Structure 1
Amino acid sequence: MTEPVIRRVESAEELFAVAGDDHLLRSDAAPEESLEQQGVGWVAADGGFAFGGSADGPGLVDWLTVIGTPETAGALLRHALESLPRRPYGFSVPRGTEMAAYDFSEPETWDFMAFDPAWGVELPAIPGEERVAEMLPSPAADAEIAGFLKVANPSHSAKPGWEAIQAWGVVRDAEGVLLACGAYCRRDGGNGYLASIGTRPESRGQGLGAAVSAWLTRRSLANGDGFCALGHWHPNEPARRVYARLGFRTTHQMMSGRFEA
């Protein structure tokens, strides 16, 4: 197979000119920031691309994200790793990308889903959504949510206290006991995303997770976000069905891992 032609891009504007309609790129990279601040990027002639950023300085990458067909993604990954002064801590690539040549740990498969009003979809009303209340981040709220998620969703991604978290949607019983929660977060690129959705084990099967997800999505749309996104572990067909029912679409099927030191 002929290797795709790959070139490095020096600005976010250039990368967005090539792949600006990609929801994962729009979610993880802010178009108004330069890649000198964020890191570096590469594009392939067939439309695949890779990007990453680092807080350690220009030209460095902590996490490398690669988008494209598995074949193009493999070439982009090799090209990027050969170009970087040090190996990133981790990576995300399309599922099916050949990774046998690399030593890595903590492999995870996940799906990236988006709800985009530009698709003309309407967010349906979900039974129980009226029970969801807003809880703004605070030291007391963060402590309560953190303790709850240890039981309701131990692998949650958005940690209470993160600056990206704008609000929590919560459901309580008549005594005030927390039954379900989820985080509405916002990216620098101007989109919202859902994270850390969890339901108390003994309260599952009542549609509380769906109600929280709908409320969070509605909160994002009311805030004027360009679109709302989420990532969920694969396979998780019950969760996928909930999000699809709300109007979310799977736009990327990914695999992530951490490179060995």
Structure 2
Amino acid sequence: MSSSLNTVLRRHTRSIIVLLFSTALIAIVVGHVRAAILDGNRELHAYEAAQPCSAAPESPADCIWQQEFTVTDIYLTNARNKDNSAVLIAEDGTERETYFSSKGPVLLKVDEGGQVTGTLWRGRITEISAHGTTQETTDAPTDVIGGSLAFALVTGPPALLVMVTCVWRLIRHAEPKPTRGMAATLGLAGGLFLAGLFAALMVDASFERFGVLLAVWAGLAALAAVTVYITATYKEAAPGAGTDENN
């Protein structure tokens, strides 16, 4: 295995620090999933079951109200760390800056000064619609459980393997350097982390599609495990091995 992996476990103090970090990460993952399961998708279900308001609500309400807005200051970006945005102006002149995780379809079709219909729920604009298309805002309720399970899948298994490797190293502290198995386990942790990231990018992180996400992750994880095993068991041929003795 690479010397960089061995360096992580070579010093006992470094192993302890990494162990504490991985343990804290596992605690965060467990707490995050626990909170999501207890709270569930309560807000999402409430939004989906909400009925139309009989009149324009004067304060945040659990019913759904649709209102016309004029769109200005449309900002579209390809940056992953920034949201697309637009300013929605109500008939009374109230301006509301609204954010979107994607460019379309509505923002791509509407022009500055164009009209959109906004859906309001609990005082938040959850989506806009125009030209027969609808686009959710970042204030729309989301699938909390699906996102939490995806987060656990990406971070949980790698953190657990790192923690096991550190404990393994501390138990065998008398050895001058980490064993090949320790380095392989740490390498597998990195492979599982990448497998989780790729799986989360390939499959929508919703509760309904978590089975598909898990299947994709399992396939990528198996590929990572095989790669790590081959790398860990590979031995370079000794100098001169396989050459003609007469040469």
TM norm structure 2: 0.25
Q: Considering fraction of residues, name the structure with more helix.
A: 2
